[in-house]
Amino acid sequence: MELDNTRLPAFRHIEVDHIEPAIDTLLTDNRAAIAARLQTGEPYTWENILYPLEDLQDRLNRAWSPVRHLHGVADNDALRRVYNACLVKLSDYATEVGQNEGLYRAYNYVKEHGEYERLGHAERTIIDNALRDFRLSGIALNPADKDRFKQIKQALSQLQTQFEEHVLDATQAWKKPITDVQRLSGLPDSAVRLARQTARREGLTGWVFTLDFPSYMPVMTYADDRDLRFELYQAYVTRASDQGPMAGKWDNTEVMAEILRLRQELGKLLGFAHYADYSLATKMARDSAQVIEFLGDLARRSRPVAERELAELKAFAAHQYGIKELEAWDIPYYSEKLRQHHYAISQEELRLYFPAPRVVQGLFAVVRRLYGLRIERWTGVETWHPEVEFYALYDAANSLRGLFYLDLYARPHKRGGAWMDECIVRKRTATGIQHPVAYLTCNLTPPVGEDPSLLTHKEVITLFHEFGHGLHHLLTLVDYPSVAGINGVPWDAVELPSQFMENWCWEREALDLISGHYQTGEPISSTLLERMLAAKNFQSGMQMVRQLEFALFDFRLHSLPGTTEGPAIQRLLDEVRAEVAVVKPPTFNRFQHSFGHIFAGGYAAGYYSYKWAEVLAADAFSRFLECGIFDRESGVAFLHSILEPGGSRDPMELFTAFRGREPRIEPLLRHSGILA
């Protein structure tokens, strides 16, 4: 082991009672250190104030990261209490630093007094990002506007919470009890069992369906009973609105109008034309025109394909099932029938070829061939669970670049989903390099008995995706934590390395490394692979225009200069649908009233990011389609141009350095079968 100054957390020795006092001490020390640095009376420089801030923040992150991680993977009541208590303190501290006028002056001073010019890229990006974030938090406003800014922020946070609560209440309030077994026809066993369990919990006989996704989706996809599908569909798409079975209850109409009005005011207060421009201030996309043009271009080219797919679906439903009018509540159902008709492919069949240990070793082999990386398992490192493995990652020159924990399987007290999180961020210190350390967390099916865990192809993709984030974090060569790895990378660009990695899950040469029948070791047959590839792009045009409808609606909504009353929102959505959608929802549809991504979450004027990042990833990968999917020169170029610089440079500059030009949308269209 060669760890230099990277000290790993002692997971088995973290005492819950000691966490809060330790965080308190760090926060007190940090506050005192910042105040002292601001009061020395010396002219501000990178070395005497900005760099020390990096250090203070890093110390805090290193103390907090293992706690945040344990809260995610080994939760218990005592830890949760401490976690929440600390979270409030940390968020107060972050707000305080973000609004500290002394610090704002210090950054400005360093930027304007010659010092900036002699600094490197990473340092300059840190200064520019900080000044931008200070401005976006209203620091440069006059006192009256500053007050108003705070009021708006508070009101927005309350309204967004209210929006979310309305959706949650409406989702939970509606239930569909069923006692006639006939009505369950077509549903898979798992869905029926879930409905039975819900009924029991409610003290009812029979089955109960709800608007929770795991209950709702199987009904829409598999239930033969068309009336049942209609009832669930109507209840689902009218949640928290003026329509449907709960009309007027938890109605979000006013909440949405007020959120939009306040966001407009906030954007204007900070000097932007509208909220969309405010959102773009921290993103890779240049301006509103570029986003609108980008989405419009994708829509123009995808819509004819989506129209053909819908026509095929209609013809299939008419000929095979006698359906004259294909309604919104029929689409997932007949789509599933059509998919089976064409491909008859099941995730269960594929599982046999993806035993987890083989997939993990294969993944390591893929990055070895691409980047020359060597990954070595270390035993004896202290972790939070015996299942967790620990690895060290070496580059082609055999230098240690980073370390990671791999926690693959689902178990009690572990949060669902998959994610990469930072344990330690790379930093140059007086005595050497602090190596980056990552947590890679998945919730794969655990091994049963003698058999290894068998993964679905979807799970394999998830693992590759998170590993892509992990490489971004681990392979950075930036010396300052706030722009090392994924830090400082704009929201619409941060999914590039992760989505990029997913591509290898669809290539024969890579599949040979990551798969093999768990008993015989046999590779996936070419007919199975063909079906798998064909099924991948099933209805991709329809999916594309649906995402574009959401993205365009979101972006144009936040670019509106005028009123945003309820009817105006609906009018805009209707307009967008007329332009891009192929499936026209019924007039009672109030999808927007539960569109939490943009009204309650962080995707306001940012929903386009999903597509933006997909375009980057597909275009980056297209270089490998041209040069060979294991072309080392391209791999090394990706490493140097994208992964190593992390957040220290403008992402468009990085992408252009890798691809030799700005991103194009054709590779995504080709990759999803929209372009032949």
Residue placing its CB nearer to Zn ion in the complex, 332 or 490: 490
**By CB under 5 A, which span of 209-217, 496-504, 517-525, 584-592 interacts with Zn ion?**
496-504
Closest CA to 437 of 421, 428, 424: 424
User: CA angle, 11 as apex, 8 and 14 as ends, to 5°?
Assistant: 115
**72/267 with CB nearer Zn ion:** 72
HSE of 19, CA atoms in CB hemisphere, 13 A: 27
* Closest distance of CB 466 from Zn ion, Å: 7
Task: Report the residue number, 309 or 619, with the smaller CB distance to Zn ion.
Answer: 619
What does the alpha-carbon distance between residue 615 and residue 620 come to, in Å, rounded to a whole number? 8
Nearer to Zn ion, 302 or 609 (CB): 609
573/368 Cα distance (integer angstroms): 47
In the Cβ-directed half-sphere of 102, how many Cα atoms lie within 13 Å? Answer: 15
Q: Closer CB to Zn ion, residue 498 or residue 564?
A: 498
- The token pair at 667 is 């590779």
Size of the site for Zn ion (CB under 5 A): 1
Cα 255 from Cα 156, distance rounded (Å): 10
Q: What is the DSSP string of 484-550?
A: STTTT--TTTTTHHHHHHHGGGG-HHHHHHH---TTT-PPPPHHHHHHHHHHHTTTHHHHHHHHHHH
Minimum CB separation of residue 276 from Zn ion in Å reads 24
C-beta separation of 55 from 47 below 8 A: no
Single-letter code of the amino acid located at 551: A
The least CB distance from residue 259 to Zn ion, in Å, is: 26
Residues 107-136 that bind Zn ion (CB under 5 A): none
CB of 489 to Zn ion, least distance (A): 12
CB of 497 to Zn ion, least distance (A): 9
Q: Which is nearer to Zn ion, 188 or 417 (CB)?
A: 417
Task: Give the chain's end-to-end CA distance (angstroms, integer).
Answer: 51
Please state the closest distance from residue 273 (CB atom) to Zn ion, in A: 31
C-alpha 33/C-alpha 552 separation (Å) is 46
SS3 631: coil
In the complex, least distance from residue 498 CB atom to Zn ion, rounded to whole angstroms? 4
Which two structure tokens, joined as six digits, stand for 370?
């691409």
Tokens (6 digits) for 625:
């389609």
For 560, the 3-state DSSP assignment is coil
CA-based Rg of the chain, rounded to a whole angstrom? 26
Q: How far is the CB of 495 from Zn ion (least distance, A)?
A: 5
By CB under 5 A, tell whether 264 contacts Zn ion. no
Distance CA 237, CA 586 (A): 10
In the bound state with Zn ion, the residue whose beta carbon lies nearer, of 418 and 572, is: 418
Three-point CA angle 22, 24, 29, nearest 5°: 95
Q: Does 498 bind Zn ion (CB under 5 A)?
A: yes
**Catalytic residue IDs:** 466
DSSP code string of 341-372: HHH---HHHHHTT-BHHHHHHHHHHHHHHHH-
Nearer to Zn ion, 313 or 367 (CB): 367
Which residues are near Zn ion by CB under 5 A? 498
